[in-house]
Chain A
Amino acid sequence: DVKVTQSSRYLVKRTGEKVFLECVQDMDHENMFWYRQDPGLGLRLIYFSYDVKMKEKGDIPEGYSVSREKKERFSLILESASTNQTSMYLCASSLGQGNNSPLHFGNGTRLTVT
């Protein structure tokens, strides 16, 4: 079974802090994704990566960056956290291009920025 692990379930940070959200998958998946989920807005894609050191912007990349130094790990970085980044963040992975495989999600990180 695919396991996607997000390092924190809950985080509370102050405005202006640099925040790292970590995600690790154990199934050698090529694709990894970061979404944020907000009531009434559904899931919105922030960034995704289809290979080590490769990244693509999603629908709402502003205020975020990502890092993928190893295949199994995909980090989301908030350079200077703001209150409007309070949200649920979901990491996901999938097998890779050319493979019609579903997304496998972690349990999410609920981030509160005060």
Chain B
Amino acid sequence: AQSVTQPDIHITVSEGASLELRCNYSYGATPYLFWYVQSPGQGLQLLLKYFSGDTLVQGIKGFEAEFKRSQSSFNLRKPSVHWSDAAEYFCAVEGNYGQNFVFGPGTRLSVLP
């Protein structure tokens, strides 16, 4: 069965600092991987996705993520964090043609001015 871990429950960074959120997955075949962001009281918004090809994928809001098969990881990065990036971030894996999404527990990001 698929599973997703996000080792960091809560991360605090200063505005302008770089950010890396970790995601590790367990899946037997080629995974389809996603990062979502959730602002307080809102639904989840897709940041980026990886299906195949280039292992470094670009998303919205200046985010990128790198798929590393050897490490079963799909870490999310941003070179310079803005105060509006404060939110909860979810990594997800899908392996059944759009019917079986498994989400990680989420990482809450706080941004200091």
Chain A residues with a Cβ under 8 A of chain B: 4, 31, 33, 40-43, 45, 48, 50, 56, 90, 92, 94-108, 110
Contacts and interface: CB of A to CB of B under 8 A. Distances in A.
B103 A97 contact: no
Interface in B9-47: 32, 34, 36, 41-46
Interface residues of B, number: 22
Contacts of B45: 105
Contacts of B103: 42-43
Nearest to A98: B97
B42 A108 contact: yes
5 contacts: A33-B101, A45-B101, A48-B99, A103-B44, A110-B41
A100 B94 contact: yes
B98 A108 contact: no
A107 B41 CA distance: 8
Given A42-B90, A42-B106, A100 B98 contact: yes
B49 interface: yes
A42 B105 contact: yes
A48 B92 CA distance: 17
A102 B94 CA distance: 9
A87 B24 CA distance: 27
